[in-house]
């Protein structure tokens, strides 16, 4: 302990920088938690999905058809407010909002939290992070196709 105090006395700027860095880290984490914008990484999202979480895919229909998380409900971001009533049935379970990169989903998560969804999360990094983690996706034609006559 004497050596620590001696070091701190000799290198006050280093110790001060360490303390300030620590306080900034704590402050940003507390602010993030207080804001309610909780993002989960893909492995935590898998745990939530295994515990009955609902997944809302905010991407357009074409991106959804190229690959989406199993049992994800596609509600494009521009149609989300109009189709909000279909999401209200998930109020009792965790909800994970997914977009391409994890940025657009933060707005939806904030909106859901304001309306009483206590367990609303955004997927950190979006579908890009999901794919990079090598997690499974479902592909298929969920878009309207033109029929040849």
3-state secondary structure 64-123: HHHCECCCCEECCHHHCCCCHHHCHHHCCCCEEEECCCCCHHHHHHHHHHHCCCCCEEEE
Whole-number pLDDT of residue 116: 85
DSSP annotation of 52 reads T
Model pLDDT for residues 23-53, shown as the tens digit of each residue: 998 988 787 666 555 788 899 999 999 999 9
What is the model's pTM? 0.70
List phi, psi (to 5°) of 108.
-70, -40
Task: Judge whether 127 and 67 are in contact, CB under 8 Å.
Answer: yes
Q: Under 8 Å CB-to-CB from 94, ≥6 apart: which residues?
A: 48, 51, 52, 53, 54, 119, 120, 121
DSSP annotation of 124 reads T
The alpha carbons of the chain give a radius of gyration, in whole angstroms, of: 21
120 backbone φψ class: left, alpha, beta (φ>0; ψ -120 to 50): beta
Distance CA(124)–CA(40), nearest Å, equals 5
Positions in the chain short of pLDDT 50: 142-149
Distance CA(65)–CA(142), nearest Å, equals 5
Task: Judge whether 105 and 77 are in contact, CB under 8 Å.
Answer: no
């Amino acid at each position: 302990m004497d050596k620590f105090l001696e070091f701190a006395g000799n290198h006050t700027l280093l110790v001060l920088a360490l303390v300030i860095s620590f306080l900034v880290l704590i402050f940003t984490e507390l602010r993030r938690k207080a804001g309610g914008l909780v993002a989960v990484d893909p492995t935590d999202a898998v745990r939530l999905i295994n515990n009955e979480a609902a997944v809302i895919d905010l991407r357009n229909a074409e991106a959804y058809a190229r690959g989406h998380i199993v049992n994800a409900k596609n509600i494009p971001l521009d149609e989300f407010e109009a189709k909000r009533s279909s999401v209200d049935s998930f109020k009792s379970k965790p909800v994970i909002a997914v977009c391409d990169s994890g940025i657009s989903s933060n707005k939806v998560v904030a909106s859901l939290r304001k309306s009483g969804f206590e367990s609303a999360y955004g997927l950190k990094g979006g579908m890009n992070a999901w794919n990079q983690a090598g997690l499974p996706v479902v592909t298929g034609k969920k878009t309207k196709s033109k029929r040849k006559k």
